[in-house]
Structure 1
Amino acid sequence: MTTASTTNGKGRKAPTIFDVAERAGVSHQTVSRVINGDPTVRDHFRSRVTTAIGELGYRPRAAARALAGGRSKALGLVTAGDALYGPSSTAIGFERAARTAGYHVLLSTLPDDPRPADLSGALVSLLAQDVAAVVLVAADNRVLDALASLTVPVTVPVVVSNAMQGDAIPAASRAEQLLPSVAAVAIDQVVGTTLAMRHLFDRGHRRIVHISGPSVSQESEVRRTTYTRLMVEAGLDPVVLDGDWTPASGFAAGRMIDATAVDAVFCGNDQMALGVLHAFADDGLRVPDDIAVLGFDDIPEAAHFTPPLSTVRQDFMAMGERVLASVRSLVEGRPLDDTLIQPQLVVRRSA
C-alpha cells in the first residue's frame, strides 16, 4: 500500500500522523483521538503523543494547507478555571466581535488545575481544526506556567487575555521557539486599585482592610501589592484577608472584621463584596455609616446590592474586542495596540 506524502518548505518529507504514532509507540487512531481532543484518551498516552508531535514538528494537513495558501476564518479559544464573571465576559465579547468580523470560534476548556499537558492537548486539537490564531483566557498563573512549558510547536499567533502585559510572554528559550508570535491584552489593575484606594482616602478612611482573591491570579496579586504599597506610602498599616472570589469567602472574611477597628473594606471583586455586605447585615452594621465597602469589576448586579455597591468597572466586552483586534494585527502583520485598557471608578452608596 502506498500513501501520499507532503514536503516542508525545505524539501524534506513532512512528518505524518503515522510518524507521530511510531515515535509515541501508539496507534495512529490514538494520535487522531488526541488531535481531536477525545477526553477518553489516557493521560500517559496523551502526553506521549503531544511530546512526539513537538519533537517531530508535526502539523495536521489542513493547518499546513492554510499556512501555504488561504487564510483560515477559524479562531481557537482556550478557557481555564471556573466560569468567573471577568474571563467569561471577555470570552463572550471576543466571540461576538469575531462573529461580526466574519470569523467562527472553536472552544476548548481546561480543567480547574491545568497542567502543561492539558494546554498542549487543547492546542493540538485546535490546530488540527485549521485555526488562524489561538486566544487564551488566562485567569491564573498556572495557565501561564503551562504556556511556558509547552511541548507542542504553535505556528499560529497566540493572544493571552486577562494577563499582565509582558508576563504572558514565556521567558524560556524553548517556549519562545515554540511560540514565535505571542501578545497580551490586559486591563490596568494598578490604576483600578489606585482609583479605589484614592476614593477611600478622599472620604477620610484610613483603617482599610483588603480582601484579596486567590494567589494564583495575576490580577489578584497586582491588586494586593498595589493596596499594600499605597497603604504603606500613606503611613498606614495594610491588613489583607484571603478570599477566593466567591461570596462565601467574602462572608467568612466579613465575619472576621472588627468594625470598631476598621472603617472601610476594599474587596478584590464584587462577589466577595456581596458576601461582606451579607456578613455586616447579619451583625447589624450599617453600610456606609458604620463601615464602607468597595468592590471591583462592576458586575451587572452591583447596582442592586443593598446598598448599591461602589466599585471599579472593568469593561470586559471592550477587552474581548481588543483581543480580536490583536489577533487580526498578528495574523495580518499590522502594528499591535499594546496599551493597557483603563478601568473606571463607579461611586454608589456603599462607599
Structure 2
Amino acid sequence: MAMVAAHAGVSGQTVSRVVNGSPRVDPGTRSRVEGAMAELGYRPHRAARALRTGRSQTIGLVVTTLATVGNSRMLQATAEAAAERGYALTLVTATDGVAEAFERLAEQEVDGAIVLNEASALIPAVQPPVGLRLVVVDAPTDAGFTSVHSDHAGGAAVATSRLLALGRETVHHLSGPAESFAAAERERGWRETLVVAGIRPPAVVRGDWSADSGYSAGHALATASAIFCANDQMALGVLRALSESGRRVPEDVAVIGFDDVPDAANYRPPLTTIRQDFTALAHRAVSALVEAIEGTSQGEPSALIPTKLIERDSTA
C-alpha cells in the first residue's frame, strides 16, 4: 500500500480509502490510485483486511431451493450486487432448517446474511446467532428484521384490474404455496381488487410454482374466462392445459402471469405478466445489509420495490 501511495503521489490513507470504496476521494485521485494499483499488481489481502477491520467482507445467502426461476435470478443478481460493494457471497441451503444454515454461516464468519423468499417463513422459529446481521427478502414489514420485497399485492391488483377491463365477469387465481409470503401477498391483491369491484372472489386453486402444477390447475380452470397466475412457470402449464382443452388464449381465456421470466415473451401466445425487478431487489437488499455491517444505515426498516405490467398477446 505504501508503494502504491508513493507511485500515485498520495497518502497511504488515500489509498486505503480507494481500496475500501470510500466516497471521500475525488474521481481524478481515485483514477490515479487505481492506475498505480494496476501497474504495480496490488491486490487487497482479504484475510489481512479481516484481521484489521474485524470483518470478512463476505455475506451469506440463505435459500430453501434454487429450482424456482425467482430464486435463481435473485442469486445471480445478489452475487453481482455484492461484488459491486466489494463483498464475496457464500450460499447455504436450508435443507436441514434455517438454524443449521445460520450455524454454517457463523462458522464461516460472514458479516451478515440475506434470507431469500421461502426461507424467510422459517426465521421466526429460530434465534439467529448473536451479531449476525440479517436482511430478509419477502417477509412482513413487522417481522422484526429489515425486509425488502417486491410490491406483490400491487402487481396482483394491476393484473386483476387489467383482466376485468377486458370485460371478463370475474378473474380466477392460481396461487403459489400457502406458506409463501409472496404468494399470500399476490392472492391478497387479487382478492381485494375483486371485492372493491363488487365481485365475490372464486375459490383459489393452489400450485407449487412449477409448470406441472400449472398444467394440472389449467384443466381445473378450463371453463374460466380470465386467470391470474402467481408466477410465469405455472402460467406456462396453464397455457398448455387450455390448448389441450380447446380453449383459445386470449379469445376464450385471458391469462396473466407474474415475474416476467426471460422466456415469457416466447410462450405461445406470448405471456402478459407482472415484471419483478430482481436487480433492484437484490441491490436494495445488499445495500441494506452492507449499511448495517458498516454502521452507515439510514434507519430505513424496509423497502418496497415497484412492479410493472408487461402486456403481450395472452391478453390482447
Give TM class, smaller chain: 0.7 to 0.9
Change in CA separation of 1:120 and 1:236 when aligned onto 2, cut-off 3 Å: same
Q: How does 1:25-36 map to 2 (within 5 A)?
A: none
Q: Which residue of structure 2 lines up, in the alignment, with residue 162 of structure 1?
A: 138
Match of 1:229 in 2: 192
Separation in structure 2 between the aligned mates of residue 69 and residue 271 of structure 1, nearest angstrom:
44
2:276 matched residue in structure 1 = 314
Per the alignment, residue 199 of structure 1 pairs with: 162
Which of residues 80, 86, 91 in structure 1 aligns to 2:70?
Answer: 86
**Does the 8 Å CA contact 1:250/1:271 hold for their aligned counterparts?**
yes
1:255 is aligned, of 200, 209, 219, to: 219
CA root-mean-square deviation: 2.1
Distance 2:51 2:194 in 1: 52
CA distance in 1, matches of 2:120, 2:61: 15
Query: Equivalent residue for 1:341?
Result: 305
Gaps of 5+ in 2: 1-46
For residues 154 and 86 of structure 1, the distance between their equivalents in structure 2, rounded to whole angstroms, comes to: 30
Equivalent residue of 2:303, what SS?
A: coil
What do the CA deviations read for 1:216-249 (whole angstroms, capped 9, x no partner)? 1111111112212221221212122111111111
Residue in 2 that maps onto 1:75: 59
For residues 299 and 232 of structure 1, do their structure 2 counterparts lie closer, same or farther at Cα, with a shift above 3 Å needed? same
Deviation at 1:138, TM superposition (A): 2.9
Question: Structure 1 residues 183 and 103, CA, compared in 2 at 3 Å: closer, same or farther?
Answer: same
CA distance in structure 1 between the partners assigned to 2:284 and 2:128 by the alignment? 26
String of CA shifts for 1:58-96, please: whole Å, max 9, x gaps. xxxxx9x96994332111111113521112211211111
Deviation at 1:347, TM superposition (A): 0.5
Taking the aligned partners of 2:80 and 2:121, their CA distance within structure 1 comes to 28
Question: In the TM superposition, what whole-angstrom CA distance separates every residue of 1:199-226 from its partner, at most 9, and x where no partner exists?
Answer: 1122222221111111011111111122
Aligned residue number for residue 210 of structure 2: 246
- Residues 152/222 of structure 1: CA separation in 2 closer, same or farther (3 Å cut): closer
Correspondence 1:275 to 2:254: no
Q: Residue type of the partner of 1:79?
A: V
Residue 108, structure 1, aligned to residue 92, structure 2 = yes
* 1:111-133 Cα shifts (integer Å, max 9, x gaps): 1xx5xxx3222212212222111
- State the aligned residue count: 265
2:121 aligned with 1:121, yes or no? no
Mapped partners of 1:76, 1:121: distance in 2: 13
Separation in 1, partners of 2:256, 2:250: 10
Task: Answer yes or no: is 1:284 the counterpart of 2:246.
Answer: yes
Contact 1:75 1:133 in 2 (8 A): yes
* Cα distance between partner residues in 2 of 1:97 and 1:80: 21
Matches within 5 A, 1:124-143: 124-139=103-118, 143=119
Any conservation in 2 of the 1:78–1:107 contact (CA below 8 Å)?
A: yes
8 A contact 2:152–2:182 mirrored in 1: yes
